[in-house]
Amino acid sequence: MQAARHVVCALSGGVDSAVAALLLRRRGYQVTGVFMKNWDSLDEHGVCTADKDCEDAYRVCQILDIPFHQVSYVKEYWNDVFSDFLNEYEKGRTPNPDIVCNKHIKFSCFFRYALDNLGADAVATGHYARTSLEDDEVFQQKHVKRPEGLFRNRFEVRNAVKLLQAADSFKDQTFFLSQVSQDALRRTLFPLGGLTKDFVKKIAAENRLHHVLQKKESMGICFVGKRNFENFILQYLQPRPGKFISIEDNKVLGTHKGWFLYTLGQRAKIGGLREPWYVVEKDGAKGDVFVAPQTDHPALYRDLLRTSRVHWIAEEPPATLVRDKMMECHFRFRHQMALVPCVLTLNQDGTVWVTAVKPVRALTLGQFAVFYKGDECLGSGKILRLGPSAHTLQKGKSKSRVATEGSIDGPGHGPGSGPTL
């Protein structure tokens, strides 16, 4: 008789990964639980949250009667995720450390540890996502060394594993997996891909996993926790005082401690002003932050961006995009935001221009534009350039109109008239 397949499941101490491990056991696999410690820190009460999570993960293994391992990737996390995070903020961008962590830590360090050190046939996580492979096909995957040089095995590329959205579209986490390698996806099981969060909680309740059920959902940046973000980031970056300036009349409204503390679209706390102002642009050279008086001000809307070199899940751009140099699809740059219809234009260096069908609020440098076609996640690229805002375009139009007609702005052309479509 064939020995049971060995699956190594990443355990975070939360309900999702606990139920993933339980379901794998039910399928008859030999399961090992691994807790990753990625950050060394104390919360505001002086308690190390990672220690509590580790205990919870250990208890899950006891309840399920499976082996437990703990690994530390604190050094790797600092080098590959946190340093990048600080670097991006210093450049005035807004990074997404969760996407970077999945790429470098969970689906690289942990993946290799599971296969090389623990002899896993496959790995598993509690992410809400699916792939195009059935379990049996995952176990048949052999590690194929990527061909060196320019020429690839075309047959292998055509058989790329697809990353698909979860059945529970609200919980879908393909956004966070959009930079994961084809190698890792081929050997990964996502036991929760077809389930809703409510059903996962029900399974936990019925299987003595109450200790993970009572925990709050982990939200926000893992290493910041509940602390004040400004205080946290100023422990690592030097303050760079600058001015808050109105985008409408260039009037100075107040001062701030550093332009990197603000992201486009967020409300700016400006001392002495009661009405809300929102961040619409940043001037890196001077360190100034431009603000506008409404949450839907045209200065917040853009329909064009350029990414870094795109990481395609299939390792190659879609055939349509290669053939036509353009392709219709959808994108999002925040988890759970509605998908935006767009047209991609492929550049020779592997970057893409993304033109949204209608202007999008608060497109942000440093975030990842994640691309979808139907329920397939195609991959992602970091947003490195933005097109002009609707406000800038309106100003340009009104200037040219003044030049050609000698008239002043008519009604409906002021900055508050909404984004140009």
- 373 - beta bridge partners? 376
Q: What domains can be seen in the chain, in order of their start residue?
A: 6-143+157-214 (3.40.50.620), 239-295 (2.30.30.280), 300-395 (2.40.30.10)
190 in Cβ contact with 165 (< 8 Å): no
Q: Indicate if the pLDDT at residue 275 is higher than 70.
A: yes
Residue range 104-109: mean pLDDT, rounded = 97
Residue holding tokens 């959205």? 165
Please report how many Cα atoms fall inside a 13 Å half-sphere around the Cα of residue 311, on the Cβ side: 20
User: Among 27-31, 35-39, 107-111, 178-182, which stretch is predicted with the lowest mean pLDDT?
Assistant: 35-39
The residue from 101, 329, 342, 377 that is catalytic is: 101
Q: What local confidence, expressed as pLDDT, does residue 25 receive?
A: 97
What's the pLDDT band for 47 if we cut at 50, 70, 90? low
> What's the DSSP call for residue 185?
H
How far is 29 from 60, CA to CA, in rounded Å? 16
What's the pLDDT band for 63 if we cut at 50, 70, 90? very high
Q: Which amino acid is at 150?
A: L
Q: What local confidence, expressed as pLDDT, does residue 217 receive?
A: 72
Q: With 0-12 CB in 10 A as exposed, 13-18 as middle and 19+ as buried, what is 142?
A: exposed
Q: What local confidence, expressed as pLDDT, does residue 216 receive?
A: 74
- 4 - beta bridge partners? none
What's the pLDDT band for 26 if we cut at 50, 70, 90? very high
What's the pLDDT band for 152 if we cut at 50, 70, 90? low
Cα distances (angstroms) measured from residue 94 to each of 154, 184, 297, 335: 37, 27, 20, 14
Cite the beta strand spans of 240-364 per DSSP E.
242-246, 252-256, 267-268, 277-283, 288-292, 301-307, 311-312, 326-332, 340-346, 352-361
Residue range 15-25: mean pLDDT, rounded = 97
Question: 416 vs 103, which has greater pLDDT?
Answer: 103
How far is 328 from 372, CA to CA, in rounded Å? 10
Q: How do residues 394-416 score in pLDDT, each as one tens digit?
A: 888 766 554 433 333 332 322 23
Q: What local confidence, expressed as pLDDT, does residue 271 receive?
A: 85
Q: For the chain, give the number of residues.
A: 421
Q: Indicate if the pLDDT at residue 186 is higher than 80.
A: yes
Q: What local confidence, expressed as pLDDT, does residue 125 receive?
A: 98
How far is 6 from 118, CA to CA, in rounded Å? 9
Taking CB atoms within 8 Å and a gap of at least 24, the contacts of 392-397 are: 392/299, 393/420, 394/298, 394/420
Q: Which of 142, 127, 255 is nearest to 195 (CA)?
A: 127
- 346 - beta bridge partners? 352
Using only the alpha carbons of the chain, give its radius of gyration.
Answer: 24
When the pLDDT of each residue in the chain is averaged and rounded to a whole number, the result is 88
The residue from 9, 54, 61, 222 that is catalytic is: 222
Q: What local confidence, expressed as pLDDT, does residue 408 receive?
A: 31
Is 222 one of the catalytic residues? yes
Q: What local confidence, expressed as pLDDT, does residue 401 receive?
A: 54
Q: Indicate if the pLDDT at residue 267 is higher than 50.
A: yes
Q: How do residues 212-264 score in pLDDT, each as one tens digit?
A: 988 777 666 666 666 788 888 999 999 999 999 999 999 999 999 999 999 99
Is 377 one of the catalytic residues? no
Q: What local confidence, expressed as pLDDT, does residue 14 receive?
A: 93
Q: Indicate if the pLDDT at residue 344 is higher than 90.
A: yes
Q: How do residues 361-400 score in pLDDT, each as one tens digit?
A: 999 999 999 999 999 999 999 999 999 999 999 888 766 5
How far is 89 from 84, CA to CA, in rounded Å? 9
> pLDDT over 70 for what percent of the chain?
86
Q: How do residues 292-326 score in pLDDT, each as one tens digit?
A: 999 999 999 999 999 999 999 999 999 999 999 99
Q: Indicate if the pLDDT at residue 146 is higher than 70.
A: no
Q: What local confidence, expressed as pLDDT, does residue 2 receive?
A: 62
How far is 86 from 257, CA to CA, in rounded Å? 16
